[in-house]
Amino acid sequence: MAADGIHYEIFVKRHRKAGWSLAEAREDREEAIALAEKLLTTLPTGSVRVSKERYDDGSRTFRSSTVFEKGAEKFEQEKEKAGDASLPCLTPDDLSNPAARDTIHRTLAQWLERQQASPMELLHRPDLVEMLETGGTELQHAIQKVAVASARDGEANVHAYTRQLQDLIGRALTRIYQDGRNKKLPNFPAGRSFASTVEEICAKPNIYRLRAAIADRLSEERSYRDKVKCLIGFTDDLPADPELREIALTETDTFLSEILAFDSGIAGLVGDVSDLGGEVQRLADIYCGKPDAEDLCDAPAAARQLAGMIKSLSATRTAVARRLLAQLRKPRRMKPDCVASEVKLARALAQQLVLAQGPELPVDSLQDAFSQRSARLLTPETIADYLEDAEDANTEIARLLALEENIVGEQNKKKLAGYIRAALGAHRTESWFTRGPGNALDRLARLARHQARALKGHYPDEDLADLSRAFDKLGRKLLEASNLLDQVANSDRPVLDRVTSLLKLAATGVLPLGECVAEAQARAVKLLRSEAGLSEARADGERTKLGEIETLMKSLAA
């Protein structure tokens, strides 16, 4: 604490309706103000405030006074907190709970990764504790982070939580040091059987000593990769007794899941990959329990071993699922050199993971992750890469339509519909369909097939209608340019034959739905009602033609 019991707390308010929240605490006044100025640059509609906190020995409370305030507008100062600090962890044993270990991971992640250690190891290895306590300011910074976060939602101020945390951690460190000096922590050298170690320690169940033994064994491994390999090896050497076997497997699962929560821990498991897509595919194969998957052939042996037993390690499977979702949400491309390959991979992953979804990988989380991944595919740069080598406008339209099956999320579908409409309205597209290669009938049929594929897609209703009209509009331009309907309607063939041809164009998917079909049908009806048409219809021997016309009309009506 600063001299005379003074320190400075920096508060931020993100907008008018938001509440003040404590961002940091500093002992130096100028440093606190400089930090507040820096935070304000990230809050265009917010404000910052620096509060001077002086400890009053008489009342044993902190007295607050504002020394700096700046922002879009003046905000009301929050009331001083004078309640009691209350942490969920009360004893050193509580620090081994999942929530506490997760906090240790978040606040000491960089330090732990430098040591290639896990929170559970830190709680059971005197050498790691000593390194943390004497190696710098990491421990104090971690305490401060937790205290600030607790004070934000709690009834007490930062210093009340800091004192409680320091007391709790002090008791935990004292226990670890004393147990180490008094030889109460078991040794577990390399080469010793894991099963016999568990049986010896748990003859009278003592989870603390078993965890200490596992931590001691892991201290001999220098990297997360080696520790993962060691822990997976434990699963081949479990006690025969069912109860002890369950204890051993649970603790192995706990240590393994903690290591896989680190970037380098996952990297040690999946091995070297050429891109993000390679990592995601290997993680998916591990999560789904597919040790013989093609993408795991070149992965470390530990990855294949873990895939074979992942369903019996719930915490580890959860860690793999979390990493999988996090990587899917990353802004990086999975296949940066080929959009088509990325689309194919995303579709395969979606099919694979939806079938394997479970408590560790909920459907809504998967949908959210793939929705974010879909959004990455719809950036202008990615779409440009995707269409870059398309040989003509027809191929561009086909590729865009194919993308719909691999896109998740209503907004993403809406955005894709916008790209398709833009492509249909482009001069290049109009030129290809109205004056392109081959005969007009073939180009018209392709346009109708594109429209049919769009109508089968899961676009928002409004966009679906717009797309249908866009295809129909381009079809009308093609009909005008080719005079196709005029050629059929004005040919020298019998009237009923011309009527049948027009109806076939309308009813068999050659013409886009909409005005194109309506015009062909209207011309057919006009011909049929003409004097020549009625004359042919009354003639003997035309029943077959009339029956076919009736069938086509019913088809159009349906």
Angle at 216 between CA 210 and CA 196, to 5 degrees: 50
For position 464, what pLDDT does the model report? Answer: 95
Note whether 50 and 109 are same-domain residues.
Answer: no
What value does the mean pLDDT take over residues 349-368?
Answer: 87
Q: How many structural domains is the chain composed of?
A: 4
Q: What is the pLDDT of residue 462?
A: 94
Beta strands (DSSP E) in 153-293 are none
Largest CA distance in the chain: 119
Q: State whether 466 and 517 are in the same domain.
A: no
Dump pLDDT digits (tens) for 333-354: 999 989 989 999 998 998 899 8
**Looking at residue 76, what DSSP letter applies?**
P
* Among 284, 304, 282, 302, CA closest to 292: 304
- Residue in this structure with the two tokens 């400890």, named with its chain if needed: 55
| Terminal CA-CA length for the chain | 82
Q: Please give the full DSSP string across 377-396, using - where no structure is assigned.
A: HTSHHHHHHHHTT-SSHHHH
Judge whether residue 8 has pLDDT over 70.
Answer: yes
* Closest CA relative to residue 267, chosen from 40, 339, 276, 182: 276
Do 64 and 47 lie in a common domain?
Answer: yes
User: What confidence tier does 79 reach under pLDDT thresholds 50, 70, 90?
Assistant: low
Report the pLDDT value the prediction gives residue 78, as an integer from 0 to 100: 47
> 65 lies in a domain?
yes
Residues 108 and 177 in one domain: yes
> Considering the domain boundaries, does residue 123 fall inside one?
yes
Residue 37 lies in a domain: yes
Query: Lowest-pLDDT range, 53-62, 359-368, 437-446?
Result: 53-62
Q: What is the pLDDT of residue 264?
A: 94
Among the candidates 181, 202, 218, a domain finishes at: 181
Q: What is the phi-psi region of residue 398: left when phi exceeds 0, alpha when psi lies from -120 to 50, beta otherwise? A: alpha
In this structure, of 26-30, 219-223, 326-330, 549-553, the range with the lowest mean pLDDT score is 26-30
pLDDT higher than 80, residue 73: no
- Side-chain half-sphere exposure of 75, counting CA atoms within 13 A: 25
Quick check: 77 pLDDT over 50?
no
> Rounded CA gap, 125 and 190, in Å?
16
Give the structural domain span for 150: 92-181
Residue 40 belongs to a domain: yes
pTM recorded for the entire structure: 0.74
Whether the Cβ atoms of residue 122 and residue 132 lie closer than 8 Å to each other: yes
Model confidence at 82, in pLDDT bands (50, 70, 90)? low
> What whole-number distance in Å separates Cα of residue 409 and Cα of residue 24?
38
Of 133, 150, 181, the last residue of a domain is 181
The b/e string for 74-93 (b: 16+ C-beta within 10 A; e otherwise) is ebeeeeebeeebebebeebe
- How far apart, in whole angstroms, are the C-alpha atoms of residue 379 and residue 374? 9
**512 and 535 both lie in a single domain:** yes
Evaluate whether residue 233 is within a structural domain.
no
Query: Would you say residue 111 lies in a domain?
Result: yes
**Can you say whether residue 551 is alpha, beta or left, with left for phi > 0 and alpha for psi between -120 and 50 degrees?**
alpha
Task: Compute the distance between CA of residue 124 and CA of residue 254 in angstroms, rounded to an integer.
Answer: 14
Q: Is the pLDDT of residue 395 over 70?
A: yes
What pLDDT, on a 0 to 100 scale, did the predictor assign at position 122?
94
Return the pLDDT at 62.
Answer: 66
**Using CA atoms, how far apart are residues 81 and 198, in angstroms rounded to an integer?**
49
Do 32 and 119 lie in one domain? The reply is: no
Structure tokens at 335: 């296949």
Residues 472 and 497 in one domain: no
Residue 469: enclosing H or E segment and its boundaries? helix 461-482
The percentage of the chain sitting over the pLDDT mark of 70, rounded to a whole number, equals 94
Q: Which of 52-56, 319-323, 427-431 has the lowest mean pLDDT?
A: 52-56
Per-residue pLDDT, averaged over 524-552, amounts to 88
Query: Span 106-118, mean pLDDT?
Result: 94
The per-residue pLDDT for 60 is: 59
Q: Which residue has the higher pLDDT, 133 or 293?
A: 293
Higher pLDDT, 6 or 48: 48
> 499 and 439: one domain?
no
The overall average pLDDT reported for the chain is 88
Domain end among 455, 482, 509: 482
Residue 384 burial by Cβ neighbours in a 10 Å radius (0-12, 13-18, 19+): exposed
Task: Note whether residue 194 is domain-resident.
Answer: no
Residue 215: both structure tokens together: 């931590």
Residue 543 has pLDDT above 90, yes or no: no
Kind and range of the H or E run holding 215: helix 207-218
- Region 204-230 average pLDDT: 92
| Claim to verify: residue 42 and residue 114 sit in the same structural domain | no
For residues 536 and 542, give the distance between their C-alpha atoms in angstroms, rounded to a whole number.
7
CA–CA separation, 73 vs 409, rounded Å? 38
Let me know if residue 296 belongs to a domain: no
